Every structure is written in structure tokens, then in C-alpha cells.
Amino acid sequence: MNSDVSLIIGLVMLAIMFVVQYLTRKVTNSFVTRTVSGVILILIALIVIIRGSWLLYAVCFVLSMIGLYEFYRALGVHQKGGVTGLEVAGTAGAVLYYLSVIPESAKSELMSIVAGLILVLSVYVFTFPKYEVGQVLAAFTGIVYVAVMLSFVYRTRMLDDGNYLVWLIFISSWGCDTCAYCFGRLFGKHHMTPVLSPHKTVEGAIGGVAGAAVLGLLYGLFLGEEAGAYTAISAAGALISMIGDLSASAIKRNAGIKDYGTLIPGHGGVLDRFDSVIFTAPVIYFMAQCLPL
């Protein structure tokens, strides 16, 4: 039953992705590329999340390392001349954090984050004035923003009933994206962030949160679980997912880049594809433990 439910949810997500691609086909020059790479990405995610355990841990770790590199390159921590001391320190901090996740100890995880900060600041002070304070802050922020936040996909999957709960992350983020786009195209009149993202509207945002809440409700009813809690979690996750999306856009605007990378054809880099998931995953993890399920 567990794998059957996961398969059904994965197939629904695949169908949603096709809907989004169909709706956006007139405004993109890489429809076929985006569709093919999107299908492959969803199928890989489906296999990895259903399997969970060490496979999901390893995939989250690899994605975090790639995403961290993208983040450091965008904000000048990584430089064209080669790997920098700050980049090494930040990456080491991220590795320490992932090692601390294995024993599932809050103390060890907190210690690893503090250790990452100490590593970054050690490079800063012993090479002063080689690095600007902005680079130093970006080096530490990358540890939390990419490695710590993305690890909550794995941590949610490893909860009791995590094989069900983990899909709320994608219902909240990708479901919200889909519903927000549809509502925005149909009813959008008032710009939400006209300077940062002119195409996003207040109506679209409301539709995205409402749509994700409905998807969460239906998911809860399908599972026979506490539908009210699933609805609340999905709505909260959707709201936060928009902050993740806009945060990534703001960082790229300040960095003067269109995409973080080119790893996923037609989609960009890891952070381009998982910008909302990064923010949604911790919300789902903590709410799943606080609400009666």
C-alpha cells in the first residue's frame, strides 16, 4: 500500500507538470527540452523518494553540494580563478552538517552549524583583508540556505508516516506554482512584486495557496488521515514556497544572472528547480510534528 500510494502521488505530480508545460508552451522557446527533462526529473524523484533511506540521503547530499556551488558562484564566494578558502570552509561546513544528520541528534546538528560558522570566520580572519564581509556572510548563509534546508526532504521522509508526509512538500511547492499560474493568467490584475517579479499577481498568490490547500485536503481524504491538518500544512507550505521562489529571484537579480546553472536542460540549475522546495521542506517537517496527524 505504501509504495502504491507513493506511485499514485508521483504520477499525479507528473500530470501536473505536463499541465504547466502545456499552459506555458507559448511563452517558452524550449518546450520540448523542458518537458523531456522535467519527465526525467520527476521519474528520478519518484524512484528516489519511494526508496527513501540512504538513496534519498545521498541524492539530497549531492544536490546540496551542487546547489551550494551554484549559490557561491552567484554571490562571488566561488571565483573564476579557482576555488577559494571561503568556498572550501563553507563546503566543509555543509558536509559536517550532513554527517550530523545521520544520528538524528538535534545537538549534533546545531554543533555542526556552529562549526561551519567558525570555519568560515577562521578563513576570514586569518586571510584578512582578502574577503569582503558580504562574501563571508554568503559563505555561511549558503550552508543554511542550501544544505540545511534541502536536507529536510530526507528528514521528512524518515519521519513516522514520512512516506506519505514527504509528498506534502511537493504538493505545497509545485502544486502552488501550478495553481498560482492558472489563477494569475485567468484573474490576475494586481501585481504582487512589480519590480522583482512583474508577472506574479496577488490573485495568483491567493489561488496558489487555496489550490495547494485543496490538494492537501484531497490528499488527506484519499489517505483517510486527518484532512484538516493536511489542509493546514499544505496551505502554510504553499505560502512559504512563494517566499522561497521570490528569494531566489531576488538573489539572481542582485547577482545579475538569469539562472543559477544549466544542469537541468530547460530549467536551469538545482536552485532554479528547487527554490520553493528548499523553503517548504522545513515547514512541512516541523508542522507534521506539531499538528495531530
Domain boundary among 158, 173, 202: 158
In a domain, 186, yes or no: yes
Task: Say yes or no to pLDDT of 237 above 60.
Answer: yes
Same domain, 169 and 125: no
- Nearest residue to 273 via CA among 110, 106, 62, 42: 42
Amino acid identity of residue 265, one-letter, is P
Q: How confident is the model at residue 261 (pLDDT cuts 50, 70, 90)?
A: confident
Q: Which of the two residues, 134 and 160, has the higher pLDDT score?
A: 134
In a domain, 78, yes or no: yes
In a domain, 85, yes or no: yes
Domain boundary among 134, 158, 182: 158
SS3 call for 274: coil
% of the chain beyond a pLDDT of 70? 85
Domain that holds residue 243: 160-293
In a domain, 40, yes or no: no
Same domain, 166 and 258: yes
Task: Say yes or no to pLDDT of 216 above 50.
Answer: yes
Q: How confident is the model at residue 48 (pLDDT cuts 50, 70, 90)?
A: confident
Give one DSSP letter per residue of 156-177, joined into a string: HHTSTTHHHHHHHHHHHHHHHH
* Residue-level pLDDT at 71: 96
**Whole-angstrom distance, CA of residue 74 vs CA of residue 225:** 42
Domain boundary among 158, 188, 208: 158
In a domain, 290, yes or no: yes
Burial degree of 106 (CB within 10 A; 0-12, 13-18, 19+): exposed
**Whole-angstrom distance, CA of residue 156 vs CA of residue 140:** 24
Same domain, 111 and 167: no
Tell me the HSE value of 93 on the side-chain side, using a 13 A CA sphere.
31
SS3 call for 83: coil
Same domain, 208 and 121: no
Task: Say yes or no to pLDDT of 9 above 80.
Answer: no
Give Cβ neighbours of residue 175 (< 8 Å, ≥ 6 apart): 16, 211, 212, 215, 234, 238
In a domain, 41, yes or no: no
Q: Give start and end residues of each alpha helix (H) in 159-226.
A: 162-187, 202-223
State how many domains the chain has: 2
* Residue-level pLDDT at 136: 96
Averaged pLDDT for residues 209-219: 91
Same domain, 176 and 292: yes
Give Cβ neighbours of residue 238 (< 8 Å, ≥ 6 apart): 172, 173, 175, 176, 208, 209, 211, 212, 213, 280
Which range among 45-49, 144-148, 289-293 shows the weakest confidence by mean pLDDT? 289-293
Q: Which of the two residues, 146 and 289, has the higher pLDDT score?
A: 146
**Whole-angstrom distance, CA of residue 95 vs CA of residue 97:** 5
For residue 73, how many other CB atoms are within 10 A of its CB? 18
* Residue-level pLDDT at 72: 96
In a domain, 43, yes or no: no
pLDDT digits (tens, 9 = 90+) for 135-175: 999 999 999 999 999 999 999 999 988 888 999 998 898 88
% of the chain beyond a pLDDT of 90? 49
* Residue-level pLDDT at 1: 43
Most confident of 25-34, 189-198, 209-218: 209-218
Same domain, 151 and 185: no
In a domain, 21, yes or no: no
- pTM of the predicted model, to two decimals? 0.87
Same domain, 164 and 285: yes
Q: For residue 256, give Cα distances in angstroms to 250, 252, 253.
A: 10, 6, 5
**Whole-angstrom distance, CA of residue 242 vs CA of residue 232:** 16
Q: Which one-letter DSSP state was computed for residue 191? A: E
The answer to whether 200 touches 43, Cβ cutoff 8 Å, is no
Task: Say yes or no to pLDDT of 3 above 60.
Answer: no
Tell me the HSE value of 118 on the side-chain side, using a 13 A CA sphere.
7
